[in-house]
C-alpha cells in the first residue's frame, strides 16, 4: 500500500502538470478603450464591461478556446442591474453578454488551434474602429481604423453600418444558395475592403486571417 507521503507527492505532481497545461494555453486579452467616448466592451466568452476613455478590461480565455469574439457597444443605456439597450452591438439587452447579436459591430475574432488565428471582421457590419494584436511583438496588428460610418445610405443605421448581407439578406451578398461556390467581391464588400484592407469584408474573404504561435497574450484596442 502506498504511503501517505507518496500519495501527497503524486497529488502535487498532478497539480503541477495541470497547472503547466493551463499556462501553456490560457490566453489573457486586454481590451482597451482609446476612443474619446465610453464604449461598453463585449466578449464571448467574457461577458461585458463599461469602459470610459483610457480604461482596460482583462478577459482570461481557457486553453483551446475557439471562436472567441470581442466588440464594442455604443450608446448604451443600462440600469444598475446591467439591463437596457445599446444603439450598436447590443447583446440581448445585457451588460454581460451571453449571446451574439452584435449587428452592426466591428469584431475582433480569435481561435486557438495548432496555432493562434485572429482577425478583424466586418461581416456583421461596422460600428467603431478596432485592432487586435499579440502583446509584446512587432507583428502588424490587423486593424480597421477608417470611419466606415460614411457608408451608402442603404447600409446606414444609427451609430454604424450594416454589412450588405445583413441589410439585404440576399444570396449574392451572404454567399449562400446559388452563390455558395461563386463568391466574387460585391460592390458593397469592396467599399469595406478599400477602407479596411486588413479586415474581413465578407464571409468568403479569406485574405484577412492572421496567425501567431500560441502562448502569447493579446490586446484589443477600440479606436487604435
Ligand X SMILES: *[C@@H]1O[C@H](CO)[C@@H](O)[C@H](O)[C@H]1NC(C)=O
Strands 84-85 vs 77-78: parallel, antiparallel or unpaired: antiparallel
Give the position of cell 483610457: 54
Distance set, CA 9 to CA 4, 15, 16, 21 (Å): 9, 10, 11, 18
Q: Which is nearer to ligand X, 182 or 187 (CB)?
A: 187
- How many residues in the shown chain lie near ligand X by CB under 6 A? 2
Q: Are 135 and 218 in contact (CB under 8 A)?
A: yes
Q: Which is nearer to ligand X, 69 or 193 (CB)?
A: 193
String marking each residue 112-151 x if it binds ligand X according to CB under 6 A? ----------------------------------------
Min dist CB 191 to ligand X, Å, is 7
The correct pick among 92, 152, 184, 197 for binding ligand X (CB under 6 A) is 152
Q: Which residue is nearest to ligand X, using beta carbons?
A: 187
Name the nearest CA neighbour of 46 among 83, 85, 88, 97.
97
Residues 173-192 that bind ligand X (CB under 6 A): 187
Query: Cβ–Cβ contacts within 10 Å for residue 4, how many?
Result: 8
Q: Which is nearer to ligand X, 65 or 201 (CB)?
A: 201
Q: Which is nearer to ligand X, 5 or 187 (CB)?
A: 187
Bond into 104 cis (ω within 30): yes
Min dist CB 172 to ligand X, Å, is 8
Helix (H, G, I), strand (E, B) or coil at 175: coil
153 binds ligand X (CB under 6 A): no
| Ramachandran bin of 2, using left for φ above 0, alpha for ψ from -120 to 50, beta for the remaining angles | beta
Q: Which is nearer to ligand X, 168 or 210 (CB)?
A: 168
Q: Which is nearer to ligand X, 152 or 197 (CB)?
A: 152
Min dist CB 61 to ligand X, Å, is 38
Min dist CB 153 to ligand X, Å, is 9
Strand order in the sheet with 210-212: 47-51, 39-44, 68-73, 107-112, 116-121, 210-212
Applying CB under 6 A, which residues contact ligand X? 152, 187
Amino acid at each position: 500500500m502506498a504511503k501517505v507521503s507518496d500519495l501527497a507527492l503524486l497529488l502535487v505532481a498532478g497539480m503541477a502538470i495541470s497547472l503547466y497545461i493551463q499556462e501553456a494555453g490560457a490566453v489573457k486579452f486586454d481590451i482597451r478603450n482609446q476612443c474619446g467616448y465610453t464604449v461598453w466592451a463585449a466578449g464571448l466568452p467574457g461577458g461585458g464591461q463599461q469602459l470610459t476613455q483610457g480604461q482596460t478590461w482583462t478577459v482570461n480565455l481557457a486553453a483551446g478556446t475557439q471562436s472567441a469574439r470581442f466588440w464594442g457597444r455604443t450608446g448604451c443605456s443600462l440600469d444598475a442591474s446591467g439591463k437596457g439597450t445599446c444603439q450598436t452591438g447590443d447583446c440581448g439587452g445585457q451588460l454581460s453578454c451571453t449571446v451574439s447579436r452584435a449587428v452592426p459591430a466591428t469584431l475582433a475574432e480569435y481561435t486557438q488551434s495548432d496555432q493562434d488565428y485572429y482577425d478583424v471582421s466586418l461581416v456583421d457590419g461596422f460600428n467603431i474602429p478596432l485592432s487586435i494584436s499579440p502583446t509584446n511583438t512587432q507583428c502588424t496588428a490587423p486593424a480597421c481604423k477608417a470611419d466606415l460610418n460614411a457608408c451608402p445610405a442603404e447600409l446606414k443605421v444609427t451609430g454604424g453600418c450594416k454589412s450588405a448581407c445583413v441589410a439585404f439578406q440576399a444570396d449574392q451578398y451572404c454567399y449562400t444558395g446559388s452563390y455558395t461556390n461563386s463568391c466574387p467581391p460585391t460592390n458593397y464588400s469592396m467599399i469595406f475592403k478599400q477602407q479596411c484592407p486588413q479586415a474581413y469584408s465578407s464571409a468568403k474573404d479569406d485574405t484577412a486571417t492572421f496567425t501567431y504561435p500560441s502562448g502569447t497574450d493579446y490586446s484589443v484596442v477600440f479606436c487604435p
